[in-house]
Amino acid sequence: MDSKEEHPPAAEANGLSDLNKETVDLEHIPVEEVFEHLRCTKEGLTTEGAQQRVEIFGYNKLEEKNESKILKFLGFMWNPLSWVMEAAAIMAIALAHGGKDLRGNSMGIDFHDFVGIVILLVVNSTISFVEENNAGNAAAALMARLAPKAKALRDGTWNELDASLLVPGDIISIKLGDIIPADARLLQGDPLKIDQSALTGESLPVTKHPGGGVYSGSTCKQGEIEAVVIATGIHTFFGKAAHLVESTTHVGHFQKVLTSIGNFCICSIAIGMTIELIVMAAVQHRPYRQTVDNLLVLLIGGIPIAMPTVLSVTMAIGSHKLAQQGAITKRMTAIEEMAGMDVLCSDKTGTLTLNKLTVDNNIIEVFTRGYEKSDVVLMAARASRLENQDAIDFAIVAMLPDPKEARAGIEEVHFLPFNPTDKRTALTYLDAKGKMHRVSKGAPEQILNLAANKSEIERKVHQVIDNFAERGLRSLAVAYQEVPEGTKESAGGPWQFIGLLPLFDPPRHDSAETIRRALDLGVSVKMITGTFLVH
């Protein structure tokens, strides 16, 4: 029997239930202890064991509120304007009976007014309900098509399954391009490059080493490794953030306006009805039915009965126009709330910018005679990977007219990948004459420490780096050396500090125009990002 099946089901369920209460910090304890607490091994779970964990932890997706369609429909009748109309309907059916008309005939219940008011209420609610229901169905269909998959080790074999079926204790495989399906701890293997910009706003991928944690919703940009799932659904970092946003209660601008109009109408009508009741009943001694009819006229005529219908139709048209532009409106009142926006808080990475690193070729700084800006780019490209690239390698190689130029006319001998200690990459290669050379790119301080003439150029290098930083640019240094010994292990000759490359995440082509239009409309734009302070 496998070790993962040694625990009695009841004992295992009790232990896992404690984990569901988040009493153990699985993100920071040693990985070996993670396996102990999760009652699992590196061989993965069985199908039966995974099903038991689904019953304890739930599915790996955010909780959705199952709202009754009937209650949702009736909810559109619960607002101040509807209250006045409902009060008029009650008066028409309950109070407006008896009495005689001008010809002396007995008058019955006023069904005409009652039916007319009810029809208006139903029309208002139906339009809003149908539009929001259609938008919700469209959003659900879109999410179903985009349902992520995950590769998990179940019953001793690797299987691709819906990410919603993952449970804590599952062993998953993460490779280049994968969206992390759940919070997990990395097992043995090479470091990963993880894009967490959707969670933290960091424009550059983060290096994650074995034993480190990765978050649901982030993307693997480089590497391949196995990991053990430690949290799913609402218990993930992303799930907790989504729950906090969802749990906030906020009355929108649209609802405030409707409430204000409704309250004003109610107060005005109440005052008018009180005055009319005193005058007609106490002063003029009008007949009961005539008094009630006049009160109904005042009650119905004093409210903008058609306004909810007009607003519903207007927002429905807006919803359809947004849908034509690829935007799905799940709640129609959000359209009016957005129209009444005062402050727009925008993320930087991927929203105002393209989330795509680029080299500014115009301000590349060259430090060695005999080299041009194009030579600095070529040397940096040689010190980059052509396959399985990270964001920096991709940006630099993309500067060449043809990516193949990075290896044209040379023979690769050895490539040193980036690591957090050296903070640089390096390529040792042979030229067409058989001579060995080495080129390196990386953090400016690390490359500067290699340079033979560090003392002569250090001040200028720091000045250029500061100038780049003032413009919101990152700096990448490039160095070159000859290797006369002819072996990849040799130290080589003196390093030459060739130049500095400015890296930046370019703004979207429409960002400036969008911000300008927002400012013209009186909307204050704020950039909120993990890279800089709030501006």
Catalytic residues: 347
Beta-ladder partners of 442: 424, 477
In 95-215, beta strands by DSSP E: 149-154, 157-162, 171-174, 183-189, 192-195, 206-208, 213-214
Q: Which of 500, 506, 451, 447 is nearest to 475 (CA)?
A: 500
Backbone torsions φ then ψ of 84, nearest 5 degrees: -65, -45
Answer whether 218's CB lies under 8 Å from 158's CB: no
Beta 524-527 vs 343-346: how paired, if at all?
parallel
CA angle 74, 78, 79 (to 5 degrees): 150
CB atoms within 10 A of CB 419: 13
Instruction: Report how far residue 454's alpha carbon sits from residue 474's, in angstroms, rounded to the nearest whole number.
Output: 20
Amino acid letter for position 212 = G
* C-alpha distances in Å from residue 65, one per residue of 29, 62, 69, 104, 502: 34, 10, 12, 58, 48
Q: Is 370 left (phi over 0), alpha (psi -120 to 50) or beta?
A: left
130: enclosing H helix or E strand:
helix 111-145
Q: Which of 482, 513, 464, 241 is nearest to 360 (CA)?
A: 464
Query: In the numeric block, which tokens belong to residue 490?
Result: 């040799």
Per-residue burial over 343-379, b = 16 or more CB atoms within 10 Å of its CB, e = otherwise: ebeebbbbbbbebebbbeeeebbebbeebebebbbbb
Answer whether 176's CB lies under 8 Å from 387's CB: no
Answer whether 205's CB lies under 8 Å from 389's CB: no
Instruction: Report how far residue 227's alpha carbon sits from residue 191's, in angstroms, rounded to the nearest whole number.
Output: 12
DSSP SS3 for 462: helix
Place of tokens 């600095």: 376
